[in-house]
Structure 1
Amino acid sequence: MDVRVARTRSNVLRAATELLVEGGPGAVTIDAVVARSGVARSTIYRHWESRDEVLFDVIESCAPEVDPPGDELDFEAALRALVDQVRRMSNDPEWARILPALLTLRSQQHDLADLERRLEERQKEALGAVLQRGIDAGSLPADVDVEQAGALLIGPLVFAMLMDRPAIDDDFCDLVVTGFLSGYASRHASRATHAR
C-alpha cells in the first residue's frame, strides 16, 4: 500500500475512533471525520463507501488480537497466559474507552454480523487451541463448549472493565482461572462417577 494512502487511512480511522469514544456511534459522521482528520470528503469516499464502512473498519482495527500461547506451555499455563492477554487488553486505557462505544454500536448496527463472525472466529481459534490442550491432558471433557468456556473465562474480565471494578489484576485473573478449572474438574468428576 502506498505510504500516502496508508497515512490517509490511518488519519481517518484515528479520527473516527476518537469520535466514537467521545460521543458514541452517532458522533461518527463523515463531516465530523473530515473536520477531525483534515482528510477531504472525496478522499474518504474513495476509500469507504459509507460512514458505516468507516465504523466497521474502526471496529476491526481496534479489536484486540488474542494469540494462542506457545506450544511449550501445558494446559493450565496456556489458559493463564491467554487470560493474562485479555487482562492486559482490559487494562489498556484506550481499549477500555472504546469497548463501551463498540457495544453501543453493536446494538445500533444490525449489519455487523459478518464482521462480528470474523472477529469471534479469531478469538475462538485461540481459545479452542488452549482448550484442546485441556482435552488432550484429560482436564476437560471432549465436548467442552468453546463459546461457553469463553464466556466463563473472559466474561468476568469484560464485566469488571465495563463496571470499572473490581481491579483486573493478577489476583482477579487467578480467581477466574481457578474457578473455571475447579468447575470443570468437578463437572468432569461428576460425569465420570455417573458413567460407572
Structure 2
Amino acid sequence: MDTKEPRPAESRPHTGRRRNEAVRRAILDAALDLIADADGAPVTVETIARAAGVGKQTLYRWWPSKGAVLLDALTDYAAQEVPTPDTGSLRDDLRALTTATFEASQRAPSAPALRTLVREAARDPHLAELMRNFTESRRAAVRGILQRGRERGELPADRDVDLLVDQFYGFFWYRFLLGHAPLDRATADRLTESLLR
C-alpha cells in the first residue's frame, strides 16, 4: 500500500481572466491607431484584435463592445496626454489644462481619432453615449479645477462653474471641429483669462 501523500497539482498558467497590462496596452494602442487611420472605414472587434495580435475573445472578455474599447482607449490617452494639474493656483491649473488639451488635440492619434468618433457618433446612438461619457470625464477635470479654485477663494462663489465648463469645451469643440482658428498656446492663455475675468 502506498503511504505517500498525494502531490499537490501543479498550478496552471493563468487563463487570461485578469488583464495582462502589456496586452491591454497593445489593444488600446491598436484601437486608437485604427480609429485615427479609419478614414470612414469600419473599425471592428476583429480588426482591433488582429492589429493587437490577440484573439477577439480577449477583447470580449475585458470589454462588452467595440465602442467600450474605443472609449477606454481615448480616455486612457487623454489621461496620459492631458493630466489634471493641481499646483494650488486656479489660473496656473486652468492654463496648464487648456494648453495640454489644445496641444493633444492637434497631434495624432488624438486629432483624427476624435474627428472620426464624432462623425460616427452622429450615426451610432451607442457610440454617441460613449462619447458623452468621455466628454463628461474631461468636463469633470475642468470642473474640479474650478471648484478647487472656488474653495481657495480664487473664483467668486456666484460664478456658475458648469457654465464656465460649457464655455471651455464649447470653445474647444467649435474650433476643433471647424478648424477656422488656432488652438495654440496663445489661445489657451486668452481663453484662461477670459474664463477667469
TM-score, structure 1 normalization: 0.69
**Shift in Å at residue 22 of structure 1?**
2.1
1:130 pairs with 111, 128, 146, which one?
146
CA distance in structure 2 between the partners assigned to 1:79 and 1:56 by the alignment: 24
Structure 1 unaligned blocks of 5 or more: 183-196
Q: Determine the structure 1 residue equivalent to 2:87.
A: 70
Q: Does 1:144 pair with 2:159? A: yes
Cα distance in 2, alignment partners of residues 55 and 78 from structure 1: 28
Which runs of no fewer than 5 residues in structure 2 stay unpaired?
A: 1-13
CA contact (8 A) 1:87 1:169 kept: yes
Structure with bigger helix share is: 1
Map 1:63-142 onto structure 2 (within 5 A).
63-64=78-79, 65-71=82-88, 73=89, 75-107=90-122, 108-110=124-126, 113=129, 116-117=132-133, 120-121=136-137, 123-134=139-150, 136-137=152-153, 139-140=155-156, 142=157
Gap change, CA 1:128 and 1:43, over 3 Å in 2:
closer
User: Shift in Å at residue 67 of structure 1?
Assistant: 0.9
* Aligned residue-pair number: 179
Taking only aligned residues, the RMSD between alpha carbons, in angstroms, comes to 3.4
Alignment CA distance shift 1:25-1:120 (3 Å): farther
| Percentage identity across paired residues of the two chains | 23
Normalising by structure 2, we get a TM-score of: 0.68
Distance across 2 between alignment mates of 1:114 and 1:28: 15
C-alpha distance in structure 2 between counterparts of 1:46 and 1:175, whole Å: 46
Check conservation: 1:29, 1:51, Cα contact below 8 A.
yes
